[in-house]
Amino acid sequence: MSSHRLVRRVMTVGKYLAAITVVVVMLFPIYNIFLTSVQRQADVRGRDLNLFPTYIILDHYQEVMRPGHIVPIVEATRNSFILSVSASLLSMALAAMAAYAITRLKFRGKQGILMGLTAVYMLPAILFVIPLFVWVVQLDIVDTFISLIVPYAAFMTPFMIWILKSFFEKVPADLEAAACIDGCCLRKLIFRVLLPLSIPGLVATFIFGFILSWNEFLTPLVFTSADFPILTVALGLYKGTVDIQIGQQAAAAFLALLPVILLTLVFQRMIIGGLLAGSEK
Amino acid sequence: MVGLNKYWPAMVFPALILVAGIYIFPAIQTLLFSFGRVDVVTFSVSHYVGLDNYVRAFQDPRFLDATLRTLYFGVVTVGMGILISFPIAVLLTHKFVGRSIVRVSVLLPWAVPQVVAGVMWEQMFHAEIGMVNSILRHLGIISRNVIWLGDATLALHVVMLAVVWRIIPFITLFLLAALQTIPHQLYEAADIDGANGWRRFRFITLPLTMPVLIPTALIQFVWTLKVFGEIFVLTGGGPSWGTTTLNYLVYRESFEFFRLDRGSAIAYVLLLLTLFVVLLGALARRFVSVDRTARRQRV
């Protein structure tokens, strides 16, 4: 074998070793809580290194989902789901209109608006959470959906405008112009031309919005009490309770993780494209 | 769209009003809080005290420690993130069987909620049941379990590791995008000139990824300033304030001790720090792009 071919072989082997290392290291923390969530506590606490399960039990999941459990998983999941869907829809609707106007219409101050949106998106949320908390208390809307949907939607709107803008820029303006020349009225323009063409952008935005809302922690932690459980908050506060069950904590964490993992797996290309589009400016 | 032009306010203002209502007005309110005494019962400003909250903050060693800790946290976390992401991005530019599996495994941590990441790493570094101690014990590196989260310095670095893991996806994606724009011919020319791997990296890869790397690093730095969930779950800011960053200090002042005025003042210091980094990014961007245009013209 020539030395050149040998070098190539070594490179190939190195490449696969590197690839396997990356996959193992990146996925290990996720695998680890999954493992803990399907093992008996005694085996997790044992002195032996158990990297691979010899059995799988679902007791921790059953236990943590039992009504009256200190982590109200079922109720919290429902609340988080309603919140994430409503906040994403609200933000998507507003961001779509704004992004379309910014992409296609002529008016002054566009650059200013875009720069302002980018700037506020970078700011730490805690700055807004302090007075918002005060207003939520004063308006007596603690533990309501509205007290969370509005801030969630506002927090992600700048990002959504950026993503949608990049999608609208790819839709040829000629198509719309053609529709107009044909004497197509505004409603037809919107429902026959604009909406069908923007569906990929809207889906991507919705997925992003859902994941961002689902993962939100600081805002619901401050704005809600135990009477209105939110999944991330319930999980975050579980640690503070006495006699924590490590398997159940892992099960709860895995349940909180599952929806966003599935969305990421299914929409990975869309997410990668959106991330690159949403922040490259 | 000519016919629609007159409708732009109706399309733009709803989003702007929402953003202004949730970002701008609260930011002004926070500023007012930071100059006053906020009553704990009514949550309103009882009287204004000028810069007193800021002066007190700067006299408080906890604040000064938290500021330095935040900078250290941000710089090291982002630096580590880049060091790990760069080889991953280079790997992903190659074609090989299973590349899409690598790509999606690298992407996944991005979607993990901070709180869940906190729980994951807490279980990894748990003194008794943690996988890290277990592995180190079996490799014979340690004989007794290390109490990772019981020591301020160790705990801080565990939190940083958790954050590095979660920012790798973003940095890798951007580096990958930048790497893919580098023309192949450059490397071929370098091969003909007999340039070795390091020189190829130093004179082709690095300069051509810089315009992406710098803004990405600054965005990530701004994000690490805001880390909350991991700290909340892993350490709660302890032991003895040892993992309290500025952002977390604002939270503790405001919502553990309900000193909204002190919290607001520190929040504004954090805001200034953030704006400074954003400004730095804008400057770096202009500088780098000018440099690039100049180079293109020379070619």
- Gap between the Cα atoms of A45 and B129, Å rounded: 5
Three-class HEC string of chain A? CCHHHHHHHHHHHHHHHHHHHHHHHHHHHHHHHHHHHCCCHHHHHCCCCCCCCCCCCCHHHHHHHCCCCCCCHHHHHHHHHHHHHHHHHHHHHHHHHHHHHHHHCCCCCHHHHHHHHHHHHHCCCHHHHHHHHHHHHHCCCCCCCHHHHHHHHHHHHHHHHHHHHHHHHHCCHHHHHHHHHCCCCHHHHHHHHHHHHHHHHHHHHHHHHHHHHHHCCHHHHHHCCCCCCCHHHHHHHHCCCCCCCHHHHHHHHHHHHHHHHHHHHHCHHHHHHHHHHHHCC
Q: How many structural domains are present in chain B?
A: 1
Question: Is residue B34 included in any domain, yes or no?
Answer: no
- Residues from chain B that touch A232, judged by Cβ atoms under 8 A, are 113-116, 229
Question: Is residue B14 included in any domain, yes or no?
Answer: no
Output the pLDDT for position B297: 47
B11:A98 CB<8 A? yes
Given a contact cutoff of 8 angstroms between Cβ atoms, the answer to whether A198 and A99 are in contact is no
Given a contact cutoff of 8 angstroms between Cβ atoms, the answer to whether A33 and B129 are in contact is no
Question: Is residue B51 included in any domain, yes or no?
Answer: no
Question: Is residue B38 included in any domain, yes or no?
Answer: no
pLDDT tens digits for range A52-103: 888 888 989 988 888 888 888 999 999 999 999 999 999 999 999 999 899 8
CATH of the domain at B261: 1.10.3720.10
Given a contact cutoff of 8 angstroms between Cβ atoms, the answer to whether B57 and A192 are in contact is no
Distance between B4 CA and the closest CA of chain A, angstroms: 7
Output the pLDDT for position A22: 96
Given a contact cutoff of 8 angstroms between Cβ atoms, the answer to whether A33 and B111 are in contact is no
Q: Which of A47, A130, A149, A217 to mutate to test the interface with B (most CBs of B within 10 A)?
A: A130
Distance between B265 CA and the closest CA of chain A, angstroms: 10
CATH architecture of A68-279: Orthogonal Bundle (1.10)
- Residues from chain B that touch A178, judged by Cβ atoms under 8 A, are none
B118:A236 CB<8 A? yes
- Gap between the Cα atoms of B121 and A204, Å rounded: 29
Structural domain boundaries of chain A?
3-57, 68-279
Given a contact cutoff of 8 angstroms between Cβ atoms, the answer to whether A154 and A188 are in contact is no
ipTM higher than the 0.95 cut: no
- Residues from chain A that touch B170, judged by Cβ atoms under 8 A, are 275
> Where does the pLDDT of residue A281 fall: very low under 50, low under 70, confident under 90, or very high at 90 and above?
very low
Residue ranges making up the domain that contains B135 = 62-182+206-293
- Gap between the Cα atoms of A261 and A244, Å rounded: 25
- Residues from chain A that touch B134, judged by Cβ atoms under 8 A, are 49
Q: Which of B6, B7, B13, B23 to mutate to test the interface with A (most CBs of A within 10 A)?
A: B23
* Torsion, Cα of A41, B234, B113, A247 (10° steps): 10
Give me the mean pLDDT over the B286-292 stretch: 59
Instruction: Work out the end-to-end distance of chain A between its first and last CA atoms, rounded to an integer number of angstroms.
Output: 50
pLDDT tens digits for range B56-87: 999 999 999 999 999 999 999 999 999 999 99
pLDDT tens digits for range A127-166: 999 999 999 999 999 999 999 999 999 999 999 999 898 8
Nearest-by-Cβ selection for A105 from B8, B14, B119? B8
Q: Which of A7, A12, A126, A272 to mutate to test the interface with B (most CBs of B within 10 A)?
A: A126
Phi-psi region of A39 (alpha: psi -120 to 50; beta: other; left: phi over 0): beta
pLDDT tens digits for range A176-213: 766 666 666 667 777 777 788 888 889 999 999 999 99
> Where does the pLDDT of residue B41 fall: very low under 50, low under 70, confident under 90, or very high at 90 and above?
confident
The count of residues in chain A is 281
Question: Is residue B197 included in any domain, yes or no?
Answer: no
Amino acid at site B105:
S
- Residues from chain A that touch B118, judged by Cβ atoms under 8 A, are 236
Given a contact cutoff of 8 angstroms between Cβ atoms, the answer to whether B30 and B261 are in contact is no
Nearest-by-Cβ selection for A113 from B12, B30, B250? B12
> Structure tokens of A53?
């399960």
Question: Is residue B234 included in any domain, yes or no?
Answer: yes
Give me the mean pLDDT over the B242-247 stretch: 95
Cα angle B209, B211, B212; round to 5? 70
Looking at mean pLDDT, say which of A198-207, A232-241, B280-289 comes out highest: A198-207
Question: Is residue B231 included in any domain, yes or no?
Answer: yes
- Residues from chain B that touch A33, judged by Cβ atoms under 8 A, are 119-120, 123
Name residues 47-106 of chain B within 8 A of A (Cβ): 87-88, 91, 94, 96, 98-99, 101-106
Q: Which of B2, B12, B28 to mutate to test the interface with A (most CBs of A within 10 A)?
A: B12
